Chains A and B, each alone.
Chain A
């Protein structure tokens, strides 16, 4: 059995069991770290530079984490990037470079998604009629969210489930007919998609003056924030609108927090109160750190989220985000992306300089 196969087997068991003691998590985390150190050469260099090699790391908390931006700079993978079955990419940000997450197999990623989604969204239901407010996998082959939504529709959607977007926006007639159908038949309906698609949908429905009252058992899942694609909405207002337009209780409006650089998602248990507490399954753990020292911040203080996702076995398990959060007993609060630092003196700030450099390059 190859080393990768061995890890996959071990991980599958771990994920299927879906409960782990500190020792169990630690032991598999160190095993995977060892594997990644050996096979992911840029990561190995990074660890050596930090003076944190498998020889020295005894606790998963000490495993060196890479910043999300590292995925833009070098191929962070334990297998040949050319041979990847799938590459997910981040949407291009200000600098135009896209982060790439290579997958040698989707086996673990999909297992992780399915077990976690069943537990956190489907619960006792096996299948539900779904409407997806996001482009298909074919349209966006590099979007991890597209892959996610396609997978959950295949695994948990009824045969009548469908996509509700068209070329340039929401397919409003189709949405209305789906929602009316649900209202009429009383069959529970699930609307899933990117948060900003819901914002677009609000605008459309407001224009048409339409609201719905979906039957009991209906649910909503949104993900990803708004990312400048639409007007900024207050989080509270967002869930108020979901409730108003679709008649779905806020406790059944679930937000999924996931990033391209990971293979596992976090969920909340509804959004009656915002911000809600996000939690993940047994194979992912999160530390809230002071970004400068890498030390955990005292409880009740804000810090930056670092995720240790065992399902990320083929790239790097430990990924530092630029998301600000706060640890609580069960999970963490997510407060969103950290804002750019402001210049405090009269020295030119890096941001300004970059703008300048762009200007002079033109």
Chain B
């Protein structure tokens, strides 16, 4: 897969899955825009790695839940690169994935939902609103939204998180219908439990074992495992796919 000359924006790319996706694109020659919220040092390290890997990297701060910040960021990218070919909406609002301490349904406040919906749908929406005019002009573009396999099988009902990610899947499908006429594709990648990431650092071993036992490929995903399907959906190889969700969980969901 050759991404030379392609401009790829990955949100929340200073660490974890986002960083792995950024590196994977760079390895194929892409110019990767490494968006981050707080961790400048880590983001710049990822950008430097992108260059080492044969692509190019550019760390750029931007709060994706702020419309103004998003527009500013996209403008800056356009000045630097002149175009955006691929967007990976990977950033999300931090969440404690702990099946034991999670909120029970009757404990969840609307604000909990709102926070997660803002983190997932609102941020993706701002980014999409900003890049779609650019992609329309190019008559092509690929948007990939990172969700979770919990949307299909909520093995742990993290209400606010799962609901927000499910909403993002619905958002993606509707968007796919509308922008398909302009040659723009919108798809989702739904990883299972990915370890290690900051979000999964506290996940208990017994849950991991439970998941492994029920996973045909008998292990837990690494961040690098997620990158492959993302690159596929970004590439011309998937040129006739849109509105789809690829589950990347070793067969846990099927």
CB of B80 within 8 Å of the partner chain: yes
* Sample of 14 further A-B pairs with CB below 8 A, known A55-B58, A58-B4: A47-B82, A48-B79, A48-B82, A49-B82, A51-B7, A51-B81, A51-B138, A52-B82, A53-B80, A55-B31, A55-B56, A55-B80, A55-B81, A56-B82
Complex CA distance for A48 and B4, rounded to whole angstroms: 16
Nearest-neighbour CB distance to chain A for B222, whole angstroms, equals 30
CB of A323 within 8 Å of the partner chain: no
Q: Which residues of B contact A62 (CB under 8 A)?
A: 5
CB of B159 within 8 Å of the partner chain: no
Q: Which residues of A contact B78 (CB under 8 A)?
A: 48
Q: Which residues of A contact B31 (CB under 8 A)?
A: 55-56
CB of B239 within 8 Å of the partner chain: no
B: residues with CB less than 8 A from A are 4-5, 7, 31, 56, 58, 78-83, 138
Complex CA distance for A51 and B82, rounded to whole angstroms: 4
The 0/1 profile, CB within 8 Å of B marked 1, for residues 42-68 of chain A is 000001111111011010001000000
Query: Can you list 27 A-B contacts (CB < 8 A)?
Result: A47-B82, A48-B78, A48-B82, A48-B83, A49-B82, A50-B82, A51-B5, A51-B7, A51-B81, A51-B82, A51-B83, A51-B138, A52-B5, A52-B82, A53-B80, A53-B81, A53-B82, A55-B31, A55-B56, A55-B58, A55-B81, A56-B7, A56-B31, A56-B56, A56-B82, A58-B4, A62-B5
Q: Which residues of A contact B82 (CB under 8 A)?
A: 47-53, 56
The 0/1 profile, CB within 8 Å of B marked 1, for residues 14-51 of chain A is 00000000000000000000000000000000011111
Nearest-neighbour CB distance to chain B for A244, whole angstroms, equals 54
Nearest-neighbour CB distance to chain A for B32, whole angstroms, equals 11
Complex CA distance for A62 and B78, rounded to whole angstroms: 18
Q: Which residues of A contact B7 (CB under 8 A)?
A: 51, 56
CB closest residue in chain B, given A52: B82
Q: Which residues of B contact A51 (CB under 8 A)?
A: 5, 7, 81-83, 138
Number of A-B pairs, beta carbon distance below 8 Å: 31
Main secondary structure, interface of B, reads mixed
The 0/1 profile, CB within 8 Å of B marked 1, for residues 267-285 of chain A is 0000000000000000000
Complex CA distance for A51 and B4, rounded to whole angstroms: 12
CB closest residue in chain A, given B137: A49
Interface size, A (range): 10 to 19
A: residues with CB less than 8 A from B are 47-53, 55-56, 58, 62
Q: Which residues of A contact B58 (CB under 8 A)?
A: 55
CB closest residue in chain B, given A47: B82
Q: Which residues of A contact B79 (CB under 8 A)?
A: 48
CB closest residue in chain B, given A46: B82
Complex CA distance for A58 and B5, rounded to whole angstroms: 9
CB closest residue in chain B, given A51: B83
Closest 3 CB pairs of A and B: A51-B83, A48-B82, A51-B82
Complex CA distance for A39 and B140, rounded to whole angstroms: 30
Complex CA distance for A50 and B82, rounded to whole angstroms: 7
Q: Quick one: which of A50, A53, A56 has the most chain B CB within 10 A?
A: A56
Complex CA distance for A315 and B58, rounded to whole angstroms: 29
Q: Which residues of A contact B80 (CB under 8 A)?
A: 53, 55
Nearest-neighbour CB distance to chain B for A120, whole angstroms, equals 36
Complex CA distance for A62 and B6, rounded to whole angstroms: 13
Q: Which residues of B contact A55 (CB under 8 A)?
A: 31, 56, 58, 80-81
Complex CA distance for A48 and B138, rounded to whole angstroms: 12
Q: Which residues of B contact A47 (CB under 8 A)?
A: 82
Complex CA distance for A51 and B31, rounded to whole angstroms: 12
Nearest-neighbour CB distance to chain B for A49, whole angstroms, equals 7
Q: Which residues of B contact A52 (CB under 8 A)?
A: 5, 82
CB closest residue in chain A, given B6: A56
Q: Which residues of A contact B138 (CB under 8 A)?
A: 51
Complex CA distance for A62 and B4, rounded to whole angstroms: 11
Complex CA distance for A62 and B7, rounded to whole angstroms: 15
Nearest-neighbour CB distance to chain B for A34, whole angstroms, equals 13
Q: Which residues of B contact A50 (CB under 8 A)?
A: 82
Complex CA distance for A297 and B78, rounded to whole angstroms: 31
Q: Quick one: which of A49, A50, A51 has the most chain B CB within 10 A?
A: A51
CB closest residue in chain B, given A45: B82
Complex CA distance for A53 and B83, rounded to whole angstroms: 9
Nearest-neighbour CB distance to chain A for B228, whole angstroms, equals 24
Complex CA distance for A49 and B138, rounded to whole angstroms: 10
Nearest-neighbour CB distance to chain A for B220, whole angstroms, equals 37
Complex CA distance for A52 and B5, rounded to whole angstroms: 8
Complex CA distance for A58 and B81, rounded to whole angstroms: 13
Q: Which residues of A contact B56 (CB under 8 A)?
A: 55-56
Q: Which residues of B contact A53 (CB under 8 A)?
A: 80-82
Complex CA distance for A55 and B31, rounded to whole angstroms: 8
CB closest residue in chain A, given B58: A55
Q: Which residues of B contact A58 (CB under 8 A)?
A: 4
Complex CA distance for A64 and B82, rounded to whole angstroms: 12
